Structure 1
Amino acid sequence: MKQLNAERSVPLRLASEYINIADKYARDNHLGMYRIIPTWGASEAFLPEDADLLIENAQTGRTIARHNLKVIDTLFESTACLIGSANGVFNADKGARIKSITETLRAAVEDI
């Protein structure tokens, strides 16, 4: 991070879908002048032409590696959850559909 803190004549370009997180990260890490570029979708395509840094939610890191990028810092660890109303889970008809969705999601995650 020391290289990023150096004095620059142009603002550091920080791309992210998470504007508030990007702003807080830049301030907390004293990145000096910076400009946040809002992104949606395939944000890794912004580097290096349109942005200097990217704050991205990465699941496996394969896309990052495929684009020849490197993780500099991990901001958060997260867990994906399926959330529903207790009424739906205990309803026999909805409960069966929820169980089917859960099994499909688990199978997809295991394939990753």
Structure 2
Amino acid sequence: VYAVASYQAGISNLDGLLAKRDNWRIVSEYPNLARVFALNLRMKAFKIFPVWGAAEVYPPDSADLAILWARNENEIKEQSLVPLMKLLPVTAFLIANRESLENKDLSQILSCFSSKLIAKPRLNPAVSYERGRSNPITFPPSGKAKEIKLALPDGHQQPPTAQFLKRVGLNIQGYTEEVLNRRPSSDL
């Protein structure tokens, strides 16, 4: 996630940003991040315009700055924008419903991920764990599930998720970096 300005605004870095003016218009899909960004820079006056996408088209006419997601700084520059600051790295996570993971045979889909993922469990300090005891995840030998429902993100999270799925070898038709089908399917 980056803070960016238009090339036409004549701002090339944060120092130039703060020297320009006092009343800033900031557009973003992430209004909370935009607010924290403005407060951390001690901007005296600013307005944040939350949008649902395409924040990159607002500067310089309808906004002075944009807080947006991009793969890298080159992608920002291709849109005639100047990257001022990288605010956050973006990563993808695989989250599973515990009950489904324990009670359904998801081995076919999980095997696609298993060779590419490194599990980093987060332990709850309020829960005590017995030493030496391990509870491996096992799948019941019951019949195969007729349908597996997988929630996939759209919007700014779609490109990194599509790249991740491709990297682990999971082919989902209708879900790529560029194309979104509301009901994608898989050949599993």
Q: How much has 1:90 moved relative to structure 2?
A: 4.3
1:60-106 deviation line (CA, Å, top 9, x unaligned): 44542321112110111121112112343344533324555x59743
Alignment RMSD (CA, Å): 3.1
User: Quick check: 56-65 or 102-111, which moved more?
Assistant: 102-111
Residue 83 to residue 44, structure 1, CA distance change in 2 (3 Å): same
Structure 1 residue 50: Cα displacement: 0.8
1:31 equivalent to 2:43? Answer yes
Give me the TM-score of the superposition, normalised by structure 1. Answer: 0.75
More displaced stretch, 85-94 vs 67-76: 85-94
Gaps of 5+ in 2: 1-13, 117-161, 170-175, 178-188
Count residues in correspondence.
Answer: 110
- Is 1:4 the counterpart of 2:17? The answer is yes
Identical aligned pairs, as a percentage? 29
- TM-score, normalising length from structure 2? 0.48
Q: CA deviation at 1:58?
A: 1.7
1:7–1:43 distance in 2 versus 1, CA, 3 Å: closer
Decide which structure has the larger Cα Rg and report it: 2
Find the counterpart in structure 2 of residue 93 from structure 1: 105
- The structure where strand makes up a greater share of residues is 2
Unaligned ranges ≥5, structure 1: none
Looking at structure 2, the residues matched to 36 and 20 of structure 1 have their Cα atoms a distance apart, in angstroms, of 9
Q: Distance in 2 between matches of 1:109 and 1:28?
A: 39
Aligned residue number for residue 43 of structure 1? 55
Q: Residue 30 of structure 2 is aligned with which of 3, 15, 18?
A: 18
C-alpha distance 99-20 of structure 1, shift in aligned 2 (>3 A):
same
State the 1:38 CA deviation: 1.1
